Amino acid sequence: MKSLVMKELKQPLQLDDREEPQPATDEVLVELHAAALNRRDYWITQGLYPGIRVPVILGSDGAGVVTKIGNNVPPHWQGQEILIDPGIDWGEQTKTQSERFQILGMPRDGTFAEFVTIPAACLHPKPPHLDWNEAAALGLGGVTAYRALFTQGVLKSKQTVLITGIGGGVATTAMRFAIACGATVLVTSSDDTKIAQAIDAGATGGFNYTQDAWHKNVVSKFGEVDLILDGAGGAGYGQLIDLVTAGGTIVNYGATAGPPQQFDLFKVFWKQLRLIGSTMGSPRDFQAMLEFCRAHQIRPQIDQIYPLNEGNDAMSRMQKGTQAGKLVLAIQ
């Protein structure tokens, strides 16, 4: 099978011909139609992730058809069109993942290939309103956005939510979820074109976070916000504390810009803020996310689609951060 393999850190992925893997008793073999990138894939190539092993096929997100099933797998999965929940062994608790939790695509081989083996527990029927590329683009970003917004952030319609770095895959998906829920959605970006696109898609306002005092403009135009969804952290984190309302919530699911350099703890306790972390989501979050997408006919925003053998071009677009939405690899 054709596969994109990471053999060394900080080097391009290599297109290899590998033996088709065989599913273990609780697993299935999926013939992939599409895979999608996440920032995690890029972090791994740069050595910025714990427990890296090489060689490995990266890729957490994928959609395709089940072509073989292990002995303990219910036979109805054979031949099914599916998308993958990339979270493996979340465990029994909904509050947090177990110590066994893994993400597909390192250490286990992932979806940047023609075939992948996965535990049958990770299978979900492909929502009929999505094409293969959209189905592949939904998984990791979708469950992260859903848990951060609704499970952790408890977003309600009529509330105002600010989503940072709207070019990001999680951020664009979260924006679509929040609009569908009836919230007022504000976004930030380093790129005015991405802000204009977000407003076209239904966001109420957007602010360029590279400009000084952008956060003061948010408050003067829209007032303080109820919820902030942030995947960036970094120097701008302190400004988020200023523009969230008293008693409000900041949910953080990433730190693309590194750790916060400075933030005012006095404001955190005086404003009675809730600062919450969020990572991917439980199987229950994933199921709820799919039901929400079906009910509202939500499609993830795709930036560009590349053939598998041009996967390195997709990785370099992600590195530059020029994308608006998900980068997809079309496989079959």
Ligand X SMILES: NC(=O)c1ccc[n+]([C@@H]2O[C@H](COP(=O)([O-])OP(=O)(O)OC[C@H]3O[C@@H](n4cnc5c(N)ncnc54)[C@H](OP(=O)(O)O)[C@@H]3O)[C@@H](O)[C@H]2O)c1
- We find the least distance from the C-beta atom of residue 147 to ligand X, in angstroms, to be 8
The residue count for binding ligand X (CB under 6 A) is 34
Partner residues linked to 84 by β-bridges: 123
Token output for 11: 């080097």
Length of the chain counted residue by residue: 332
- We find the least distance from the C-beta atom of residue 290 to ligand X, in angstroms, to be 17
- We find the least distance from the C-beta atom of residue 82 to ligand X, in angstroms, to be 21
DSSP string for residues in 66-123: EEEE-TTS-GGGTT-EEEE--EE---S-SSS--TT-EESSSSS--SSBSEEEEEGGGE
The residue from 3, 38, 97, 239 that contacts ligand X (CB under 6 A) is: 38
Is residue 45 within the footprint of ligand X (CB under 6 A)? Answer: no
The residue from 177, 253, 263, 286 that contacts ligand X (CB under 6 A) is: 253
The residue from 110, 169, 205, 206 that contacts ligand X (CB under 6 A) is: 169
Say how far apart CA 168 and CA 49 lie, in whole Å.
19
Are 51 and 107 a contacting pair, CB within 8 Å? yes
- We find the least distance from the C-beta atom of residue 3 to ligand X, in angstroms, to be 22
For residue 259, the 8-state DSSP code is S
Is residue 260 within the footprint of ligand X (CB under 6 A)? Answer: no
Token output for 110: 């992932």
Is residue 232 within the footprint of ligand X (CB under 6 A)? Answer: yes
Is residue 150 within the footprint of ligand X (CB under 6 A)? Answer: no
For residue 21, the 8-state DSSP code is P
Is residue 194 within the footprint of ligand X (CB under 6 A)? Answer: yes
What residues have CB less than 8 Å from 28, skipping those under 6 apart? Answer: 66, 68, 69, 70, 73, 77, 117, 118, 120, 123
What residues have CB less than 8 Å from 219, skipping those under 6 apart? Answer: 242, 243
- We find the least distance from the C-beta atom of residue 258 to ligand X, in angstroms, to be 9
Estimate to the nearest angstrom the gap between the alpha carbon of 264 and the chain centroid: 29
Residues 266-325 touching ligand X, rule: CB under 6 A, are: 279-280, 318, 321
User: Among 56-64, 122-130, 152-160, 229-237, which window interacts with ligand X (CB under 6 A)?
Assistant: 229-237
- Taking CB atoms, the residue at the shortest distance from ligand X is 254
Is residue 231 within the footprint of ligand X (CB under 6 A)? Answer: yes
Residues 173-192 touching ligand X, rule: CB under 6 A, are: 188-191
Backbone torsions φ then ψ of 312, nearest 5 degrees:
-65, -30
User: Among 50-58, 72-80, 139-147, 176-184, which window interacts with ligand X (CB under 6 A)?
Assistant: 139-147
Neighbouring CB atoms inside 10 A of 80's CB total 16
Chain positions contacting ligand X, by CB under 6 A = 38-40, 43, 140-141, 144, 164-171, 188-191, 194, 209, 231-232, 234, 236, 253-257, 279-280, 318, 321
